[in-house]
Amino acid sequence: MTTHADLTALATLPTTTLAVSRRAQDTSDGGAAIVTVENTGRSLAFQVHLKLVDPASGDEVLPVFWDDNYFALVPGEKRDVRVALPRQARAASLAVDAEAWNVSRKRY
């Protein structure tokens, strides 16, 4: 590689908003959840990042395995993302932190 891409335009992305919900799923090999993320704003949500956290401590729950993460959503787009949890974790008791390049972190 001789040069890097010029990504300075990313700093000018307008802010947008996300709506996030989750539902627990029981599986034979442990737990899982489906997290639904929707871009409710008027501009691209770039590099949407999701984390499962313990709402009491704020600690991230690990290890988890997301079907997708760090993705983009155009305005109005909605995506369901499955996350597999450790056997001892209970999806119903966990919260989701969501943020993006142009969206401040928020807990759902």
Evaluated on CA atoms 77, 82, 83, 85, the torsion sign reads positive
Secondary structure in 3-state letters for the chain: CCCCCCCHHHHHCCCCCEEEEEEEEEECCEEEEEEEEEECCCCCEEEEEEEEECCCCCCECCCCEECCCCEEECCCCEEEEEEECCCCCCHHHCEEEEEECCEEEEEC
What domains are defined for the chain? 16-107 (2.60.40.10)
Bridging pattern class, strands 18-27 and 45-53: unpaired
**Model's pTM, two decimal places?**
0.89
Per residue in 25-49, pLDDT (tens digit) is 876 667 899 999 999 999 999 999 9
Return per-residue pLDDT of the chain as tens, 108 residues.
899 999 999 999 999 999 999 998 876 667 899 999 999 999 999 999 999 999 999 999 999 999 999 999 999 999 999 999 987 777 778 999 999 999 999 999
